[in-house]
Amino acid sequence: MRTVSDKFMLHHVSLDSYLFLRFMRTLIFICVAGVALTWPVLGPVNWFGGGRSKELDRVSIGNVKKPELLYAHAVVACVFFSFVMFTVARERLWLIGLRQAWNLSKPNTKRLSSRTVLYLAAPTAALDESNMRRFFGKDAVRIWPATKSDHLQPLVDARNALVEELESAEMTLIQDINKEVKKHQNRNIKYESLPKQMKKSLRPTHKADNPVVGKEVDSIEYYRNQIKEKEDEIAKVRESNDNIGGHGGAAAVFVEFRSQVAAQRACQQIASSDILSLTPRYTGVKPNEVIWKNLNLQPARRISQDGIAIVLVVVTILFWSIPVSLVGALSNIEYLAENIKALAFLHRLPPSIMSLLSGLIPPILLSELARYVPKIFRSKCLTPLHKRLVTGVDKYRHLYGMW
């Protein structure tokens, strides 16, 4: 982060990736500034605070017994908090300028995604290209309906599997040719110059249809023909109207506009008489950011799943406060042993064990608890509920702007 320039990062990775690095850099800056502010002031105050603590405990607030010295902590806390708020405000203003400059930059404005708007819950009539300008205005250029793909998706998956098989067969052929060339110790030999019988023997084969009694076929030619057939089937399904209509507002549509300005204007101004139609909407969406299965959700189902996901997150946060509080209590085990009679036996433990219980174990437990939270939200029972249209940080890009 220190040696690579910001321009290099912006042009070689996405804006979100750069903003994440900027976020980490800002956290580092806040931490370093906090250390420079708190340690020189609070270290001596705690050291001469009048307590009897030893070793590193002497520089903690627990060693302060003189009430007037606590004003130093209050003043430093207010100064540091003000510094953090100033940094957040400065970063927010900087982000607004950066996003505006990035969106208006030539590399970004030339992208098709920058002048394309994705509308969810599109009515059936909006999927017809003849109605394009009636729904989306005179600046609309093209539309791509994204409807229910129950018939199309299996064909695409089968085509992709055949492509992988073809790639594997061609790689096998290349490896076999290289081995044959090394045997002749002549690197100038090309595949075309090999004898016809040898070329045929090097090509990978397999048994079609039935692996036991099927006919032996050339793998490369076979997979190429199969891919062509699948492509024809896919084209027919795409051109048919079977996937359009009858979805009750569950389809989506990508609309290309003449310019980025027109796309932004359409995203903000186009409305529908149906309150749930053509909403939500997104600009600058790239294909790898879309969870295609979620495009065709019914509006009511989308809203209900969002609500259920939020409720689950809130419940998880509330439930997670219980083990976190227990870990916090473990870090103050000496205080608990002094004030709770049932735990008085802890004073009989060796000092090394007490230090281990109060110093090392709580951070380890807290770290494990924090690591387990993402696993909960990635579990199979919760994933379908909180999956959103856009994956990764891009979905929450506006939250960074608010931050």
Q: How confident is the model at residue 397 (pLDDT cuts 50, 70, 90)?
A: very low
Most confident region among 117-121, 337-341, 343-347, 359-363 by mean pLDDT: 117-121
pLDDT at site 363: 86
Lowest mean pLDDT among 37-51, 216-230, 279-293: 279-293
For 402, the token pair is: 């608010």
Say whether both 230 and 344 belong to one domain.
Answer: no
Say whether both 44 and 190 belong to one domain.
Answer: no
Q: Which residues are registered as beta bridge partners of 221?
A: none
Q: Which residues are registered as beta bridge partners of 105?
A: none
pLDDT at site 392: 36
- Separation of alpha carbons 403 and 399, rounded Å: 6
Say whether both 227 and 275 belong to one domain.
Answer: no
Say whether both 368 and 251 belong to one domain.
Answer: no
Read off the amino acid at residue 275: I
- Let me know if residue 177 belongs to a domain: yes
Say whether both 66 and 163 belong to one domain.
Answer: no
What is the DSSP secondary-structure string of 267-324? Answer: HHH---SSTTTT-SEEES--GGGB-GGGGG--HHHHHHHHHHHHHHHHHHHHHHHHHH
For 186, the token pair is: 């002549």
CB atoms within 10 A of CB 258: 13
CA atoms within 13 A on the CB side of 209: 4
Say whether both 139 and 259 belong to one domain.
Answer: yes
Can you state the angle between helices 152-184 and 219-239, rounded to 10 degrees?
A: 160
pLDDT mean over 315-330:
86
Say whether both 141 and 174 belong to one domain.
Answer: no
Give the domain extent around 180.
Answer: 152-239
CA atoms within 13 A on the CB side of 313: 12
Better pLDDT: 179 or 213: 179
Can you state the angle between helices 361-377 and 299-331, rounded to 10 degrees?
A: 170
Say whether both 255 and 140 belong to one domain.
Answer: yes
Please check the confidence at residue 293 and state whether its pLDDT lies above 80: no
Examine the fold and report which residue of 54, 82, 110 is the final residue of a domain before the chain moves on: 110
pLDDT mean over 9-19:
80
- Separation of alpha carbons 271 and 123, rounded Å: 12
- Separation of alpha carbons 299 and 311, rounded Å: 18
Examine the fold and report which residue of 239, 257, 284 is the final residue of a domain before the chain moves on: 239
Read off the amino acid at residue 77: A
- Let me know if residue 174 belongs to a domain: yes
pLDDT mean over 360-381:
79
Residues 6+ apart with CB under 8 A from 203: 173, 218, 219, 220
For 298, the token pair is: 């019914």
CATH number of the domain at 284, please: 3.30.70.330
- Let me know if residue 401 belongs to a domain: no
Say whether both 7 and 103 belong to one domain.
Answer: yes
Please check the confidence at residue 21 and state whether its pLDDT lies above 90: no
Per the structure, the count of domains in the chain is: 4
For 362, the token pair is: 């709580």
Q: How confident is the model at residue 57 (pLDDT cuts 50, 70, 90)?
A: confident
pLDDT in tens, 114-159: 899 999 888 888 888 888 999 999 999 999 888 776 778 789 889 9
Examine the fold and report which residue of 269, 297, 325 is the final residue of a domain before the chain moves on: 297
pLDDT mean over 319-330:
85
Per-residue CA distances from 71 to 38, 42, 65 (Å)? 13, 11, 12
Q: Return the closest-CA partner of residue 54 out of 42, 63, 45.
A: 63
- Separation of alpha carbons 132 and 258, rounded Å: 13
Q: How far is CA 17 from the centre of its chain?
A: 10
- Let me know if residue 398 belongs to a domain: no
Q: How confident is the model at residue 249 (pLDDT cuts 50, 70, 90)?
A: low
CB atoms within 10 A of CB 118: 24
Question: Hunting for tokens 């051109």 — which residue is that?
Answer: 239
- Helices and strands: H and E segment counts in the chain: 15, 6
For 321, the token pair is: 């406060």
Note whether 73 and 46 are within 8 A (CB).
Answer: no
Lowest mean pLDDT among 91-100, 275-284, 392-401: 392-401
pLDDT at site 75: 94
Say whether both 22 and 120 belong to one domain.
Answer: no
- Let me know if residue 101 belongs to a domain: yes
- Let me know if residue 399 belongs to a domain: no
Say whether both 69 and 84 belong to one domain.
Answer: yes
Sign (positive or negative) of CA dihedral 250, 254, 258, 259: positive
Say whether both 368 and 311 belong to one domain.
Answer: yes
Q: How confident is the model at residue 393 (pLDDT cuts 50, 70, 90)?
A: very low
pLDDT mean over 92-115:
86
Q: How confident is the model at residue 186 (pLDDT cuts 50, 70, 90)?
A: low
Please check the confidence at residue 213 and state whether its pLDDT lies above 70: no
- Let me know if residue 403 belongs to a domain: no
- Let me know if residue 100 belongs to a domain: yes
Question: What's the chain's average pLDDT?
Answer: 81
pLDDT mean over 46-55:
80
